């Protein structure tokens, strides 16, 4: 039996960041992951200024931005285009991109350097309950079952959250979710300082799909190229994302002088807080496990890092976390996520994007909408922003929240 203050299940960005924050406050931390690092994770590898801001709080921003930095987003589609530098403001103007094999390893190494104990090849498989609290956790470590008792358990086991499911986590597929594929391609433009998104994503029949294609330069002779589509149970995206990716790569090959797509991998993305039962008296779900992914761009590293810091902040208060944690998530992200989820849901209607895209994204309307869209796609509107777009976004968020009170948003069903 191992006894620690904090057990963190999953050592992706959310779990490893939580381990760092907890160790920094003097807690004894055990970080366990089913994989052995370095390990791959299907991702676009993009790090917005919002993520860099959180990495700075972990003391890791310099390492992540040393070899490659980007300045903003180039967004294209339906005859419109905009180059949107990362805006001055709360998060700073530096973005980056780093293959997850390297990035996640870096954050895990930092967690160990700061005092956390790491078990690799260690899968959390079972729990005993003491009332609604977790008593002991069984961790299969190197083929041997070990018991761990912790005062708090932070669950950062990613999109499928198999451990979270044991605790009652439920994912609502009636809400919008993403399916996406990524690849790596060589390109002489890999030091290009802009990330690129195409919102007019065509399949091989020329039909517009609800989603976007991206090329995120990595600065190491390669780019991360991918394509993602939005889906709901009622209107499932009828696309093979790997084929969509191949088609997108073919369209971009000449412009970017792309090598063949390598390491193609696809994954699901629950989004916008569309999960229930994310906490109990002594446990919380963070990162993807809590569906902390922006429905308008599929980004979740920044929210994973932020939720890690917020969760550790709550531990200090010593309260029952069952209602406190979902309440804090709703306060922090509720309106923005619900609005983004509602907007993303509209995109899943097959007629919406082909109709609205050409009208909205080019000409005089496009000149206003494209920069706003770029800010939204960069997760870069904050509560401190007072400009027209930010105000309109917040007002719409409040209105949608009132209208969709019953929609699942980190709800508690126990």
Query: Minimal distance in Å, beta carbon 332 to ligand FAD?
Result: 16
* Distance (Å, whole) CA 124 – CA 220: 35
Q: Which of residues 56 and 356 has its CB atom nearest to ligand FAD in the complex? A: 56
* Opening angle at CA 219, ends 214 and 221, nearest 5: 90
Query: Minimal distance in Å, beta carbon 158 to ligand FAD?
Result: 3
Q: Which letter does DSSP use for residue 275 in this model?
A: E
Query: Minimal distance in Å, beta carbon 398 to ligand FAD?
Result: 26
* Opening angle at CA 79, ends 73 and 81, nearest 5: 20
Q: Which of residues 285 and 369 has its CB atom nearest to ligand FAD in the complex? A: 285
Range 16-19 contact pairs with CB under 8 angstroms and sequence separation of 24 or more: 16/104, 16/107, 16/108, 16/110, 16/111, 17/54, 17/58, 17/107, 17/111, 17/304, 17/305, 17/308, 17/309, 18/154, 18/156, 18/286, 18/308, 18/309, 18/311, 18/312, 19/111, 19/114, 19/116
Place of tokens 């954050």: 107
Q: Which of residues 177 and 360 has its CB atom nearest to ligand FAD in the complex? A: 177
Query: Minimal distance in Å, beta carbon 284 to ligand FAD?
Result: 12
Q: Which of residues 14 and 185 has its CB atom nearest to ligand FAD in the complex? A: 14
Q: Which of residues 35 and 324 has its CB atom nearest to ligand FAD in the complex? A: 35
Token readout for 11 is: 């050592």
To 10 degrees, the CA torsion angle through 95, 100, 104, 109?
A: -100
Query: Minimal distance in Å, beta carbon 359 to ligand FAD?
Result: 28
C-beta separation of 366 from 77 below 8 A: no
Q: Which of residues 165 and 235 has its CB atom nearest to ligand FAD in the complex? A: 165
Backbone angles phi, psi at 371, to 5 degrees: -60, -35
Query: Minimal distance in Å, beta carbon 228 to ligand FAD?
Result: 6
Query: Minimal distance in Å, beta carbon 383 to ligand FAD?
Result: 20
Q: Which helix (H) or strand (E) holds 23?
A: helix 13-24
Query: Minimal distance in Å, beta carbon 395 to ligand FAD?
Result: 26
Token readout for 315 is: 């531990």
For helices 335-347 and 388-403, the axis angle rounded to 10 degrees is: 80
Nearest Cα residue to 179 out of 214, 216, 227, 215: 227
Query: Minimal distance in Å, beta carbon 259 to ligand FAD?
Result: 20
Return residues touching ligand FAD (CB under 6 A). Answer: 9-15, 32-35, 41-46, 51, 123-124, 156-159, 162-163, 180, 182, 226, 267, 269, 287-289, 293, 298-302, 304
C-beta separation of 45 from 103 below 8 A: yes
Q: Which of residues 308 and 369 has its CB atom nearest to ligand FAD in the complex? A: 308
Token readout for 41 is: 């994770």
Q: Which of residues 265 and 389 has its CB atom nearest to ligand FAD in the complex? A: 265
Token readout for 170 is: 């439920």
């Amino acid at each position: 039996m191992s006894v620690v203050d904090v057990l963190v299940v999953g050592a992706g960005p959310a779990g490893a960041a939580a381990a760092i924050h907890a160790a920094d406050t003097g807690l004894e931390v055990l970080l366990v992951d089913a994989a052995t690092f370095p390990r791959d994770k299907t991702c676009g590898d993009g790090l917005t200024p919002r993520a860099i801001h959180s990495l700075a709080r972990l003391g890791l921003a310099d390492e992540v931005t040393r070899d490659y930095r980007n300045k903003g987003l180039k967004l294209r589609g339906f005859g419109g285009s905009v180059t949107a530098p990362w805006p001055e403001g709360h998060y700073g103007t530096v973005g980056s991109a780093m293959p997850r094999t390297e990035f996640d390893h870096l954050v895990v190494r930092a967690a160990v350097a700061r005092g956390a104990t790491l078990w690799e090849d260690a899968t959390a498989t079972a729990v005993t309950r003491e009332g609604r609290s977790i008593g002991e956790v069984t961790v299969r470590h190197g083929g041997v079952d070990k018991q761990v008792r912790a005062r708090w358990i932070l669950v950062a086991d990613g999109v499928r959250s198999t451990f979270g499911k044991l605790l009652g986590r439920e994912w609502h597929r009636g809400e919008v979710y993403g399916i996406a594929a990524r690849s790596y391609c060589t390109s002489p433009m890999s030091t290009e300082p802009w990330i690129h998104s195409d919102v007019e994503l065509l399949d091989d029949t020329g039909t517009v799909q609800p989603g976007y294609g991206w090329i995120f330069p990595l600065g190491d002779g390669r780019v991360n190229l991918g394509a993602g589509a939005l889906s709901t149970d009622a209107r499932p995206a009828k696309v093979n994302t790997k084929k969509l990716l191949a088609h997108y790569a073919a369209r971009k090959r000449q412009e970017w002088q792309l090598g063949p797509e390598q390491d193609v991998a696809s994954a699901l993305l629950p989004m916008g807080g569309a999960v229930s039962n994310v906490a109990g008296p002594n446990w919380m779900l963070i990162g993807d496990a809590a569906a902390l992914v922006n429905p308008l761009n599929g980004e979740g590293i920044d929210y994973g890092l932020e939720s890690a810091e917020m969760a550790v902040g709550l531990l200090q208060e010593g309260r029952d976390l069952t209602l406190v944690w979902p309440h804090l998530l709703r306060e922090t992200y509720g309106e923005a996520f619900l609005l983004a989820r509602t907007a993303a849901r509209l995109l899943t209607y097959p007629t919406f994007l082909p109709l609205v895209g050409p009208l909205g994204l080019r000409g005089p309307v496009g000149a206003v909408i494209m920069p706003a869209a770029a800010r939204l796609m960069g997760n870069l509107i904050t509560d401190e922003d007072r400009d027209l777009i930010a105000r309109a976004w917040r007002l719409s968020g409040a209105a949608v929240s009132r209208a969709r009170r019953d929609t699942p948003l980190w709800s508690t069903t126990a």
